[in-house]
Structure 1
Amino acid sequence: ILGSGLGSLADSIENPEFYPYEDLPHFPISTVEGHAGRLVIGMLNGKCVVAMQGRFHYYEGYCYNEVTFPVRVMKLIGVNKLIVTNAAGAANTSFKPGDLMLITDHINFSGDNPLIGRNLKEFGPRFPDMSTAYDPELRSKALEVAKDLNIDIKQGVYMMFSGPTYETPAEVRMARILGGDAVGMSTAPEVIIANHSGMKVLGISCLTNMAAGILEQPLNHEEVVETSNMVKEKFTSFMN
């Protein structure tokens, strides 16, 4: 799943097949700048991959069943490892814009959960464990890759807010107190569904800005996309 401004990774996929979301039954439509809005299926370094070039967000008006629908589709077509990426604000003041952060855990502060309602037991149990929602083995491999490429990669906890407003300075202070290192508006619902479905997950945040209240400047989406574009070479090298 490729987050805001990170969709260029899909350009590295060989022999790609493109499936616009509007052509796929029951898929929502991406409405946010930096999200192309299509599935790309092909080969990446000898592996068959399915890339979501653009995701869906709760703040776009979609319910969590719609936001996470593609994850269940991927499970049904044989995907068992999910790499989920996002553009996020750095709440940890030792981080800086342009850093990549491996997600060790998340705090779902969106006020909703995609598993509320009737359990789909063909995917997973009623009460799934979330102790290792972000697979330690995949994270260890990612750290090795970063070391080999001489990429300084951070690790931390991602805290999800519903959006579409950026977090207030007080909310960012709260995030730090609760252990959050980065804040954003996605990822947690997809990871919950992937975990429920028995998929192994690797989460990566591209830290595109310092979260509200750390620097004396307003936040905007253009900065998010601009920083994502600046680090896309590092991101693509790491992901390949």
Structure 2
Amino acid sequence: MHTKENNTCCCSFDFCKETTEWLMSRTWVRPKIAVVCGTGLGLLADDVADSQCFPYEDIPHFPISTVPGHVGRLVFGHVNDKACVFMQGRCHLFEGYSLCKVTFPVRVFKLMGVETIVVTNASGGLCEDFKVGDIMIIKDHINLPGFAGQHPLCGPNDERFGIRFPCMSDAYSKVLRKMAREVGHELDYSNFMREGVYCMVSGPNFETISEARMLHVLGSDSVGMSTVPEVTVAKHCGLQVLGLSLITNKVSLDYSREERVQHEENQAMAEMRAELLRKLLQNVIARYDEIDFNIMETLNSH
């Protein structure tokens, strides 16, 4: 058992290496794909073959999930014969963790040999065309906390992870997004699959109507309290990223509406639609070997 300290900065290369070595000495799986399961989406890891599970509290330096709907464990195993690791639950800035701590697992995945990370979340729909239950492929994001200096890459840069000033204009892989669209079409998901811009706010409160209107004007299609820090660090580390957002509620832009957003209702909606998202993810992973990373890098640079 290891002592946990909420705001301890533990994202140094040595700490990441220590955690990596601890995990690799206890699992035979060498994952190439990592999946971060958002609120109510822990079911995405239920079909992992030959699974090995590690509670976060047992892993050196790992942050612990405290939010309902986040189990808080790593699940190693295989999906369609592809070596994967699933985070059943993530940590958030609003839980009191530094963004260094929130993104610590991503750096560990990098050192373990992960090439691609799939980030999922439950979010509120801002786009008028979106409906509750839609699956949105994230094509870009707005890092609102980052504008205020809450950024996971603040502080000294370790070149062993990545360069000082990473480009974020291609954070979400065009090739992986295209594959997700194709798989969605094959699964007959076209009626509820969207593509859009995700905005992160720090939370933990849901947005006021004026705040939601502002985010909509800025170009946000959905809003949530996670994902962007992990994506930023993944891009910094040279990982390929696919982002999938489940629209669990419509964000109110109208003062005449009386509905109130509830975390429990969002969690329940996520759990209801998790099976559809799981099928999408399984099929994307099944086709992973079809990806030519050299072509991917060329496409992502344009």
TM-score range, shorter chain: over 0.9
Match of 1:207 in 2: 247
What is the CA–CA distance in structure 1 between the aligned matches of 2:200 and 2:228, rounded to whole Å?
Answer: 7
Instruction: Measure how far apart 1:233 and its partner are.
Output: 1.6
Name structure 1 gaps, 5 residues minimum. Answer: none
1:211 to partner: Cα distance = 1.1
Q: Does 1:216 align with 2:251?
A: no
The runs of at least 4 aligned residues of structure 1 exceeding 2 Å deviation read 212-216
Distance in 1 of aligned mates of 2:78 and 2:102: 25
Pick from 86, 110, 126 the counterpart of residue 164 of structure 2.
Answer: 126
Q: Deviations over 1:117-164 (max 9, x none)?
A: 000110110000011000001000000000000012100000000000
Q: Which residue of structure 2 aligns with residue 115 of structure 1? A: 153
Aligned-partner Cα distance in 2 for 1:51–1:102: 19
Query: Which SS does the other structure have where 2:37 is aligned?
Result: coil
- Tell me the number of residue pairs that the alignment of Structure 1 and Structure 2 aligns: 240
Secondary structure, in 3 states, of the residue corresponding to 1:231? helix
* Alignment partner, residue 59 of structure 1: 94
Task: Quote the RMSD (CA, aligned, Å).
Answer: 0.8
In the TM superposition, residue 216 of structure 1 has moved relative to its aligned partner by: 2.7
Tell me the SS of whatever aligns to 1:12: coil
| Higher RCO by CA contacts (8 Å cutoff, separation 6 or greater) | 1
Matched, 1:193 2:233: yes
Alpha-carbon distance between aligned partners in 2 of 1:5 and 1:91, rounded to the nearest angstrom: 20
2:37 is equivalent to residue 2 of structure 1: yes
Match of 1:167 in 2: 207
- Cα deviations across residues 83-127 of structure 1 (Å, max 9, x unaligned)? 000000000011011000000000001231100000011011000
Q: Within 2, Cα distance between the matches of 1:86 and 1:162?
A: 14
Partner residue of 1:97 out of 109, 129, 132: 132
AA of the residue aligned to 1:221 = H
Partners of 2:234 and 2:278 lie apart in 1 by 23
Structure 2: tracts of 5 or more residues without a match: 1-35, 283-302
SS of 1:183's equivalent? strand
Report the CA distance between 1:47 and its aligned residue.
0.2
**Counterpart check, 1:32 vs 2:32:** no
Letter in 2 for 1:29: I
CA contact (8 A) 2:44 2:275 kept: no
The whole-number CA distance in structure 2 between the counterparts of 1:116 and 1:43 is 35
Higher mean alpha-carbon deviation, 111-120 vs 189-198, is at 111-120
Which among 6, 14, 28 is matched to residue 49 of structure 2? Answer: 14
